[in-house]
C-alpha cells in the first residue's frame, strides 16, 4: 500500500522546486532512492499528464523511465493502458511520457519479457485504428509519438505506419506532405523504414508533385522533397 512517504513524493513532484529536487536525486547513483521515488508515483500517472500537476510531474515520470530499469517502471504503462492511449498521445505531457516508454522499453529486451510485451501492447493500441492514426500524424503532439515508433518500433510496426501514411488518394498524400506535423512523419518514415517502403514513399512524393506542382514551393512539402 501507499505510505506517507509516497504521498510526500507525489506532493514534491507536483511543484516546480520539488520536481527539480526529485529529478536531481534520480540522476544520482542510489538505486534505493530512485526506486522509492518511482514507488511514490504509482497511482498518479494520470495526474502526471492530465491536470494541474502535470507541467512539473511529467518530468519526474520521464526521468524515472530514463534512470530505472523498465521492470521498475512497468506501472507507468499499466496505468496508461487504462486510458484512451491516443488521447494521451495527443496531450502535451502525455506524448512525452509515451515517447520515453517506447524508447526505453524496446531497447535490449527480448520480446517475451514483460516490459517489451507491455510496450508492444501500448504501440499496438496506438496503431490499431487507421483513421485515428492518421489524425495522430496531423496532431502537433501526436506526430512525435508516431515518429518515435518509426525510430524504435519493430519492422511490422513501421510497415503498418507506412501503409497508413500511403493510404488514400494522391490528393490525401499532398495534404500530408504540406502539413506542419504530418510532413515530419513522412520525412521520418523516409529515414526509418526499409528500402522497399522508402521507395514506395518516394514514388508517392513524385506522384504528389504531378498532382500539385506548387508543393515544391510550399513550406513543409519542400522539406519532404529535399529528403
pLDDT means over runs of 10, the chain (227 residues):
66 97 94 96 97 97 96 96 97 98 80 84 96 98 98 95 95 92 95 94 89 71 57
Chain segment 184-206, per-residue pLDDT in tens: 999 999 999 999 999 999 999 88
Q: Which pLDDT score, from 0 to 100, does residue 168 have? A: 93
Q: What is the rounded CA–CA span in Å between residue 35 and residue 68?
A: 8
pTM reported for the whole predicted model:
0.91
Q: What are phi and psi of 139, to 5 degrees?
A: -80, 140
Cell reading at 86: 491516443
Residues 6+ away with beta carbon under 8 Å from 127: 133, 149, 157, 160, 161, 164
Chain segment 65-88, per-residue pLDDT in tens: 999 999 999 999 999 999 999 999
Q: Which pLDDT score, from 0 to 100, does residue 2 have? A: 41
Q: What is the rounded CA–CA span in Å between residue 179 and residue 136?
A: 12
Q: What is the rounded CA–CA span in Å between residue 105 and residue 66?
A: 10
Amino acid at each position: 500500500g501507499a505510505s506517507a512517504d509516497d504521498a510526500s513524493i507525489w506532493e514534491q513532484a507536483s511543484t516546480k522546486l520539488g520536481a527539480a529536487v526529485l529529478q536531481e536525486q534520480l540522476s544520482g547513483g542510489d538505486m534505493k532512492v530512485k526506486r522509492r521515488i518511482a514507488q511514490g508515483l504509482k497511482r498518479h500517472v494520470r495526474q502526471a499528464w492530465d491536470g494541474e500537476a502535470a507541467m512539473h510531474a511529467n518530468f519526474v515520470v520521464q526521468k524515472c523511465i530514463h534512470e530505472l530499469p523498465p521492470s521498475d517502471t512497468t506501472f507507468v504503462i499499466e496505468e496508461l493502458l487504462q486510458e484512451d492511449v491516443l488521447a494521451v498521445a495527443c496531450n502535451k505531457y502525455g506524448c512525452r511520457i509515451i515517447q520515453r516508454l517506447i524508447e526505453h522499453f524496446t531497447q535490449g529486451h527480448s520480446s517475451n519479457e514483460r516490459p517489451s510485451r507491455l510496450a508492444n501492447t501500448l504501440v499496438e493500441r496506438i496503431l490499431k485504428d487507421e483513421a485515428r492514426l492518421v489524425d495522430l500524424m496531423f496532431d502537433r503532439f501526436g506526430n512525435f509519438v508516431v515518429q518515435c515508433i518509426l525510430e524504435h518500433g519493430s519492422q511490422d510496426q513501421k510497415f503498418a505506419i507506412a501503409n497508413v501514411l500511403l493510404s488514400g488518394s494522391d490528393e490525401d498524400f499532398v495534404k500530408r506532405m504540406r502539413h506542419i506535423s504530418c510532413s515530419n512523419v513522412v520525412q521520418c518514415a523516409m529515414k526509418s523504414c526499409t528500402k522497399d517502403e522508402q521507395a514506395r514513399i518516394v514514388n508517392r512524393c513524385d506522384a504528389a508533385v504531378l498532382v500539385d506542382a506548387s508543393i515544391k514551393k510550399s513550406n513543409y512539402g519542400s522539406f519532404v522533397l529535399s529528403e
